[in-house]
Amino acid sequence: MDPSLLTDTAEGPALLGSRCSDCGAHTFPRQGGCPRCTGADMQDVPLARTGTLWSFTTQGFRPKPPYTGTEAHEPYAVGYVELPGQLLVESRLTEADPDRLEIGMPVELALVPFRDVPDDADGPVHTFAFVRSTP
Amino acid sequence: MSGVAIVGIGMHRFGRTEGVSGRAQAVHAARRALDDAGLRFSDMQFGFGGSHSAGDADTLVSELGLTGLPFINVANGCATGGSALIAADAAIRSGTHDLGIVIGFDKHPRGAFDTDPADHGIGSWYGETGMMVTTQFFGMKIQRYLHDHGIKPDVLAEVSAKAFRNGARNPMAWRRKEMAAAEIAAAPMISHPLTQYMYCSPAEGAVALVLCRAEDAHHYTDRPVYLAAATFRSRRYGSFEVFSPWLALDRADSPTVEASAAAFAAAGIAPSAVDVAQIQDTESGAELMHMAETGLCAHGEQEELILSGATAIEGRLPINTDGGCLANGEPIGASGLRQVHENVLQLRGDAGEHQVPGNPQVGFTHVYGAPGISACTVLTREEPS
């Protein structure tokens, strides 16, 4: 995945966003202009690693290109996760069964494999996802 | 300032027409619209038109006639037709022109739309990891909406069942076979809670409209329909739109809310006066949400309206009387003008088997699409004062 999306924190990897110095609005990924106040003073900021599920759905068929996930399609879920005081981030979810997903459930960031690369010693390609957090 | 009337309508049937290009379908629709108004292309003082994936509208003049008219291409995704109409409305209302044509057409490959993230200013990772998929957006949007308003998902199949019932009564529709709500609900899940038959499909088709100054309308037709308002809005900070790697914590209304309110205000007509409405039903959840966002009903009221039959052709608030996108498919450039075409048929009393009873006087149309745009019209049978 694109390494510029992530940063390291003491708690582990976190998504890297921007925060507007003028109005405090956040974006993900980083961008140079503020979509709320139209200012242009955005600072890099690590996004929260935990949040709550705001909405979700499932992907029942293998998307067309530019999707590059593993050829044999395994249904997956995506959702928006509310990161308190920051924003709602769109992400894959590790749980693909809609009956086991609910709005408001606590989730945390994880890096998960989404594409096998058989001949690559580095192993599968990873992307970010959210997984139900265990209290 | 002059008012604006629609005096000619033409359509090439939606669906799949093998061997006929999108441009040829556009020419067919244009000729039907000109015939309907008793005019020739050489009478047209302007043209506005567009398609998403079937070629440039301004090249249609090679077939329609090289008359030197200003023909301007419009490209606004799902609002292409609406934007062409707004441009025509302004050209006539301002006094720049008296008479002209708008044309929307398209021809898409089968299957879900695939979009390059770069066209939307998004990194390639978004598509590579499987999030650049429009169907997911609709699933997530309706999931949250049902949660916020306490609506049971069962109603989603009823919206599609109505669309196919209306399509079966419309000889120009693509899907003309009725389908039971139970069968729709049991179909393969595309993006939870939406199944295969709750989504419209990319398709083909073309629509053209001939418009003129309201005071000239009776030169061309004995049953003009007046364009009381045509509006367009883009998204605000905080609205929930397709292809959004993130959303703001602040929630703002969809552009639909502002475009609709502006249309009703410009027309001086309340949403409660609408006799027939065509609203964007990219999927069945969209129809449900748009019923309230356009002001046709209150949030949370949709379930009762749909289940009681109020939105059926014979109901008190007939919606998507031609079968909507669900039964006609979505040729992006043509879809918004299809809605206007249907309302003109309804206000003329020419809709045949799918005619709304009781002499409808006021029609409303609404499109919504990427990247967060909405275009609306209010159409009337009486000339606005």
Angle at B321 (CA atoms; ends B318, B324), nearest 5 degrees: 120
| Residue B304 clears pLDDT 70, i.e. is over it | yes
- Return the residue matching tokens 């964007």: B280
Residue A111 phi, psi dihedral angles, 5° rounding: -105, 125
**pLDDT value at residue B172:** 94
Q: How confident is the model at residue B296 (pLDDT cuts 50, 70, 90)?
A: very high
Count of domains forming chain A: 2
Q: Strand, helix or coil at B342? A: helix
Inter-chain touch B128–A67, beta carbons under 8 Å:
yes
Report the residue from B116, B129, B136 with minimal CB separation from A127.
B129
Q: Are residues A4 and A29 in the same domain?
A: yes
**pLDDT value at residue B157:** 98
User: Which run of H or of E encompasses B126?
Assistant: helix B124-128
Nearest CA in chain A to B117: A66
Give me chain B's average pLDDT, please: 95
In terms of residue numbers, what domain contains B250?
4-110+200-380
Nearest CA in chain B to A127: B129
**Min Cα–Cα distance to chain B from A9, Å:** 21
**pLDDT value at residue A73:** 75
Least confident of B115-129, B143-157, B245-259: B115-129
**pLDDT value at residue B313:** 98
Average pLDDT over residues B350-365: 98
Average pLDDT over residues B359-381: 95
**pLDDT value at residue B113:** 67
Angle at B122 (CA atoms; ends A107, A13), nearest 5 degrees: 35
Q: Are residues A123 and A59 in the same domain?
A: yes
Q: Are residues A73 and A112 in the same domain?
A: yes
Report the residue from A29, A61, A80 with minimal CB separation from B140.
A80
Q: Are residues A134 and A84 in the same domain?
A: yes
* List of chain B residues whose C-beta atoms are within 8 Å of the C-beta of residue A88: 246-249
Q: Are residues A87 and A118 in the same domain?
A: yes
| Residue B114 clears pLDDT 90, i.e. is over it | no
Residue B192 phi, psi dihedral angles, 5° rounding: -45, 130
* List of chain B residues whose C-beta atoms are within 8 Å of the C-beta of residue A85: 249
Report the residue from A54, A67, A76 with minimal CB separation from B127.
A67
More confident residue, A75 or B91: B91
Q: Are residues A93 and A52 in the same domain?
A: yes
Average pLDDT over residues B162-187: 97
Least confident of A74-78, A114-118, B369-373: A114-118
Q: Does the model's ipTM exceed the 0.90 cut?
A: yes
**Chains A and B: how many Cβ contacts under 8 Å?**
121
What gap in Å lies between CA B105 and CA B335, rounded to an integer?
Answer: 8
Angle at B342 (CA atoms; ends B328, B333), nearest 5 degrees: 55
Chain B interface mutation, best of A19, A53, A55, A95, highest count of B Cβ atoms under 10 Å? A55
Q: Are residues A18 and A62 in the same domain?
A: no
**pLDDT value at residue B331:** 94
| Residue B145 clears pLDDT 80, i.e. is over it | yes
| Residue B112 clears pLDDT 80, i.e. is over it | no
Count of domains forming chain B: 1
**Min Cα–Cα distance to chain B from A3, Å:** 10
Q: Are residues A69 and A127 in the same domain?
A: yes
Q: What is the dihedral of CA B44, B49, B51, B57, to 10 degrees?
A: 50
Q: What is the CATH number of the domain that holds B324?
A: 3.40.47.10
Angle at B163 (CA atoms; ends B160, B167), nearest 5 degrees: 140
Percent over 70 (pLDDT), chain A:
97
User: Which run of H or of E encompasses B267?
Assistant: helix B255-267
Least confident of A89-98, A114-123, B275-284: A114-123
| Residue A86 clears pLDDT 70, i.e. is over it | yes
Q: Are residues A71 and A37 in the same domain?
A: no
Q: Is B253 part of any domain?
A: yes
In terms of residue numbers, what domain contains A56?
48-135
Report the residue from B136, B194, B245 with minimal CB separation from A28.
B245
Q: Are residues A103 and A54 in the same domain?
A: yes
Q: Which residues of A touch B (CB under 8 A)?
A: 1-2, 5, 17, 25-29, 35-36, 54-61, 63-69, 76-80, 82, 85-90, 92, 98, 103, 114, 127
| Residue B61 clears pLDDT 70, i.e. is over it | yes
